[in-house]
Structure 1
Amino acid sequence: MSLSGKTAIVTGSNSGIGLGIAHELARAGAAVVLNSYTDREEDHALAAAMAAEHGVDVRYIKADMADGKECRALIETVGACDILVNNAGIQHVAPIDDFPAGTWDAVLAVNLSSAFHTTAAALPKMRAAGWGRVINIASAHGLTASPYKSAYVAAKHGLVGLTKVVALETAREPITANAICPGYVLTPLVEQQIPDTMKEYAMDRDEVIEKVLLERQPSRQFATVAQLGGTAVFLCSEAAAQITGTTISVDGGWTAL
Structure 2
Amino acid sequence: MGSLSSKNALVTGSTSGIGLAIARAFAAEGANVTINGLGDAAAIEKERAGIERDFGVKCRYSGANMMDGGAVTAMIREAEEAFGSLDILVNNAGIQHVAPIDEFPDDKWEAIIRINLLAAFYAIKAALPGMKSRKWGRIINTASAHALVASPFKSAYVSAKHGIAGLTKTVA
- TM-score, normalization: structure 1? 0.63
2 CA distance for matches of 1:50 and 1:32? 9
Match of 2:142 in 1: 137
Q: Report the number of matched residues.
A: 167
| Deviation of 1:39 (Å) | 7.0
Over 3 Å off, 4+ runs: none
Q: Say if 2:3 and 2:30, in contact at 8 Å, map to a contact too.
A: yes
**Partner SS state of residue 18, structure 2:** helix
Q: How big is each residue's C-alpha offset from its partner over 1:204-254, in whole Å with a ceiling of 9 and x where there is no partner?
A: xxxxxxxxxxxxxxxxxxxxxxxxxxxxxxxxxxxxxxxxxxxxxxxxxxx
**Partner of residue 127 from structure 2, selected from 122, 125, 131:** 122
Match of 2:41 in 1: 40
Match of 1:63 in 2: 64
| Deviation of 1:46 (Å) | 1.1
**Partner of residue 103 from structure 2, selected from 98, 102, 106:** 98
Q: Say if 1:44 and 1:59, in contact at 8 Å, map to a contact too.
A: no
1 CA distance for matches of 2:132 and 2:46? 32
2 CA distance for matches of 1:147 and 1:42? 35
Q: Equivalences for 1:160-171 in 2 at 5 Å?
A: 160-167=165-172
1 CA distance for matches of 2:19 and 2:72? 16
Match of 1:158 in 2: 163
| Deviation of 1:81 (Å) | 1.0
Q: Say if 1:37 and 1:63, in contact at 8 Å, map to a contact too.
A: no
Aligned residues: CA RMSD? 1.2
- The amino acid across from 2:17 in the alignment is G
| Deviation of 1:36 (Å) | 1.1
**Partner SS state of residue 91, structure 1:** coil
**Partner SS state of residue 125, structure 1:** helix
- The amino acid across from 2:43 in the alignment is E
- The amino acid across from 1:114 in the alignment is A
